[in-house]
Structure formats: C-alpha cells, structure tokens
Amino acid sequence: MSKWAWGLAATALLMGGCATKEYVHEHVATELKPVNERIDKVKSGSDAIGQRVASNEAEFRGQLNAQGERIGKNEAAIANLSRNAQEALDRANAAGKLAEGRFVQEVVLTDDQLRFGPGKSDLSDSAKAVLDDFAKRLKDEDKNVYIEIQGHTDSRGEAAYNLKLGEDRASAVRRYLNMSGGVPLHRMSAISYGESKPVAKNKLRAGREQNRRVSLVVLK
C-alpha cells in the first residue's frame, strides 16, 4: 500500500474514532439527563422537607414553652388544692370512712358560682343548679365515694366569725346535696377553714371573690 493510501486510512480511523467518542458522550448525556433531573427534584423536595421540619420544630418548642408557662402559673394553686385534698384524705382514713382510701377529684365552687350574700349561707338558685349537676355526675358515674365539703371565706371580719361562716356554708351545701341530690349524709362531712387558706390576695376585690369558695373533695 502506498504512503498516500496509508495516510488516508489513518485519517479515516482518526475521524471515525472522534465521531464514536462524540456519539458516546452525546448518548451518555442524553441518558443522564432524566437522572439528573430526578436528583434535582429529590434535592429540592429534601430542602422543602427540611424547612417544614425546622418550622414544625420551632412551633413545637413554642407550644412547649407556652405550656410550661401555664403550668408554672398554676403550680401554686394546684399545690394548695393538693394539700387540702391530702388533709381530707387523712381525716377520712383516720375516721375509717374509706374502703380504698384514695383521692378521686376536687371540685372548687367559687363565689361567682355559689353567690352567697355577704355574711349569708343561703344557697342561691345558681348555686343549687351547680350542685344539682355535681350530684347528677356522681349518680351517672355510680361511684361509692366519700365527700368532704370545705368552706372558705375572705379575711373581712373576725377570724372566729369567718370560721363559723365557712362551716355554715359548707353545711348548707351538704344538706342540699342530701335533700335534693340524694347523696347519703354518712357519705359527706363539712369542715371550715374560714379565712386561713386564701388562694388570692384579700386586699383586692377579685382576690376576695376567689377566696370565698367551697371545695368538694371526692374520695374513694
């Protein structure tokens, strides 16, 4: 073969090789294009998920902080109610009033619910409606319970007077639950704390209203 023929053949081979490489690159690029597109979509979706997770985490932390604040504000009141309930439980256990000897619930009826007049122990119509609902719930739940009715007052007047007033109000609630609600008398007792266990400041009118209350401690 002449030199010219060898040169022509070599040129053809080189041109063919270049064409083959270009074809391979184009083919690979074509095949990878949808793969790259899917990768981009997955990455975009992953970024969006990450943003949602971060947003939800911030919202969750906010809810936890708000809940913590509410718990902190109520700790003092809850602690006071728990002491009253524990004292009631101790008295009931000492008197042999309970079968299982455990606390069930405490229902606090405030002045705006009972609406006792100043220095009075007569139950208003609104107070009777609240007590009717309480007695009905006891019947519906069919609980063999013992109830200590605790009377509380504000600090106006003499301490001895307030002690007697708290007892009169607790006794009025006990009589009504028996006569109207059908709760047996031997399942209830009345006790007065008078002004000794305030839950708010007596210097303020709103505080005195909170302190004038009757607590129904339900034990089993």
Residue with tokens 């919202």: 59
What is each CA distance from 176 to 26, 66, 84, 108, 117, in whole angstroms?
94, 41, 22, 16, 17
CA-based angle 134:136:138, to the nearest 5? 75
DSSP 51-85: HHHHHHHHHHHHHHHHHHHHHHHHHHHHHHHHHHH
Over the stretch 15-50, which tens digit does the pLDDT of each residue have? Answer: 555 456 555 456 555 655 666 667 667 666 666 666
Rounded to the nearest 5°, which phi and psi values hold at 149? -100, 115
Taking the model in full, what pTM does it have?
0.61
Over the stretch 171-212, which tens digit does the pLDDT of each residue have? Answer: 999 999 999 999 999 999 999 999 999 988 999 888 888 888
What is each CA distance from 71 to 64, 79, 80, 142, in whole angstroms?
10, 11, 14, 32
- Does the domain at 76-219 match CATH 3.40.50.10860? Answer given as no
